[in-house]
């Protein structure tokens, strides 16, 4: 079974030095991603959900080595990406591609759409010009754009079309894993559906593996096979899609799910909204114990003392407690 595992992330820590106050005090560190573990199977989708400041995007960037990790392992097909040297890393980038959130800033305004998709093939791989042109034609068709549109510039496309170009670019080097960082949250609702359907169709057709970052639980529910819920840099709950959505254990996951407004009358009737008042703690100066304790309706003394470990898919002293 373990041969199925395409991406294996172990004990990943990403921290940033922050200056506090004046003078030459010791550097404080913000642990944006703190001891995170997850695996993604080939052909499946793992979603990382969380609110702003949870570290989900930083984790994704670290997997693609677009930010530096402090420690940990990111194994793709058994190769640890974090230990690769410059040239090996450059070549390895062909295997990990990124779809960005903002379709307006993710395309170089000076390049034509076709050249944007061509760029990864120029930097990586050894295709002839004819092969590249064929692949661009193929990709444009696959993402639902017409070949004539290759000569247009990004500002001549709508948001949804721009995101299609971004997807085509990500597919260009035939990557093993595609990281989708909030790929639809900047788009209008009707256009979101177009892009989500496209991503699912491409996954089916090409056997793609997605690491899907989102704050939108509805979208996540639709796209993923398993989910990691992050809070303040930690994974608080991790499991298969149905488990998390139908029987969430961690109080934070449950609050998050209960907060999503729904058109489904039955769901509104049966879910009690769990409000979590207050703000997350200062990320540079974390409290002892569970990071969620100060907002958790089920918190006890032990929660403020000992940090819970992730076991059986949940990092909580009282999983499933009455809220």
* Binders of other proteins in range 124-183 (CB under 8 A): 124, 144-146, 148-149, 151-153, 155-156, 158-161, 164, 166, 169, 172-173
**Contacts to other proteins from residues 74-93, by CB under 8 A:** 90-91, 93
Count of other CB atoms within 10 angstroms of residue 61: 20
Cβ-based neighbours of 129, under 8 Å, separated by 6 or more: none
Measured CA to CA, the distance from residue 311 to residue 17 in angstroms comes to 30
Q: Is 291 in the site for other proteins (CB under 8 A)?
A: no
Report the nearest approach of other proteins to the CB of residue 41 (Å).
16
**Residue among 21, 23, 85, 278 that touches other proteins (CB under 8 A):** 278
Q: Which is nearer to other proteins, 120 or 313 (CB)?
A: 120
Report the nearest approach of other proteins to the CB of residue 262 (Å).
5
Measured CA to CA, the distance from residue 59 to residue 15 in angstroms comes to 11
**Contacts to other proteins from residues 6-25, by CB under 8 A:** none
Q: Is 286 in the site for other proteins (CB under 8 A)?
A: no
Report the nearest approach of other proteins to the CB of residue 10 (Å).
22
Per-residue b or e along 97-122, where b marks 16 or more CB atoms closer than 10 Å to that residue's CB: bbbbbbbeebbeeeebbbebbbebbe
**Contacts to other proteins from residues 213-272, by CB under 8 A:** 215, 217-219, 221-223, 241-242, 245-246, 255-268, 270-271
Report the nearest approach of other proteins to the CB of residue 153 (Å).
6
State the number of binding residues for other proteins (CB under 8 A).
89
Report the nearest approach of other proteins to the CB of residue 107 (Å).
5
Query: What is the enclosing helix (H) or strand (E) of 214?
Result: strand 209-214
Q: Where are the alpha helices (DSSP H) in the chain?
A: 56-63, 86-92, 113-123, 129-142, 159-171, 189-206, 217-223, 241-246, 251-259, 265-270, 301-305
**Residue among 58, 69, 101, 163 that touches other proteins (CB under 8 A):** 101
Q: Which is nearer to other proteins, 253 or 318 (CB)?
A: 253
Q: Is 273 in the site for other proteins (CB under 8 A)?
A: yes
**Contacts to other proteins from residues 189-218, by CB under 8 A:** 189-194, 196-198, 200-201, 215, 217-218
**Residue among 112, 138, 286, 297 that touches other proteins (CB under 8 A):** 112
Q: Which is nearer to other proteins, 235 or 255 (CB)?
A: 255
Cβ-based neighbours of 148, under 8 Å, separated by 6 or more: none
Report the nearest approach of other proteins to the CB of residue 151 (Å).
5
Measured CA to CA, the distance from residue 120 to residue 116 in angstroms comes to 8
DSSP state of 311: B
Strand partners of residue 80: 75
**Residue among 98, 210, 212, 292 that touches other proteins (CB under 8 A):** 98
Q: Is 42 in the site for other proteins (CB under 8 A)?
A: no
Measured CA to CA, the distance from residue 308 to residue 109 in angstroms comes to 47
Report the nearest approach of other proteins to the CB of residue 61 (Å).
8
In the numeric block, the tokens 């050894």 are attached to 126
Q: Which of 196, 198, 179, 178 is nearest to 187 (CA)?
A: 196
Cα angle value 258/261/262 (rounded, 5°): 105
């Amino acid at each position: 079974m373990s041969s199925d595992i395409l991406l294996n992330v172990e004990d990943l820590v990403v921290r940033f030095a922050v200056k506090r106050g004046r003078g030459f005090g010791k550097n404080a560190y913000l642990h944006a991603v703190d001891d995170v573990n997850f695996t993604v199977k080939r052909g499946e989708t793992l979603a990382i959900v969380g609110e702003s400041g949870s570290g989900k995007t930083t984790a994704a960037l670290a997997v693609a080595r677009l930010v530096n990790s402090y420690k940990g392992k990111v194994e793709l097909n058994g190769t640890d990406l974090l230990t690769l040297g410059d040239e090996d890393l450059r070549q390895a980038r062909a295997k990990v591609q990124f779809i960005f959130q903002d379709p307006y800033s993710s395309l170089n305004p000076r390049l034509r759409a076709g050249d944007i998709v061509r760029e990864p093939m120029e930097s990586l791989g050894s295709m002839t010009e004819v092969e590249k042109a064929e692949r661009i034609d193929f990709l444009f068709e696959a993402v639902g754009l017409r070949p004539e549109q290759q000569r247009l510039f990004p500002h001549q496309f709508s948001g949804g079309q721009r995101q299609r170009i971004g997807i085509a670019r990500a597919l260009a080097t035939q990557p093993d894993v595609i990281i989708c960082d909030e790929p639809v949250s900047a788009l209008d609702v009707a256009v979101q559906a177009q892009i989500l359907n496209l991503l699912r169709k491409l996954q089916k057709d090409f056997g793609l593996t997605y690491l899907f970052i989102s704050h939108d639980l509805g979208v996540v529910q639709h796209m993923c096979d398993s989910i990691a819920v992050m809070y303040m840099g930690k994974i608080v709950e991790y499991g298969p899609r149905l488990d998390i959505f139908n029987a969430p254990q961690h109080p934070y996951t449950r609050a998050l799910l209960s907060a999503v407004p729904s058109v489904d009358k039955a769901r509104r009737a049966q879910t009690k909204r769990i409000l979590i008042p207050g703000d997350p703690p200062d990320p540079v100066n974390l409290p002892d114990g569970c990071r969620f304790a100060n907002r958790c309706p089920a918190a006890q003394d032990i929660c403020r003392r000992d940090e819970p470990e992730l076991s059986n898919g949940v990092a909580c002293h009282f999983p499933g407690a009455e809220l």
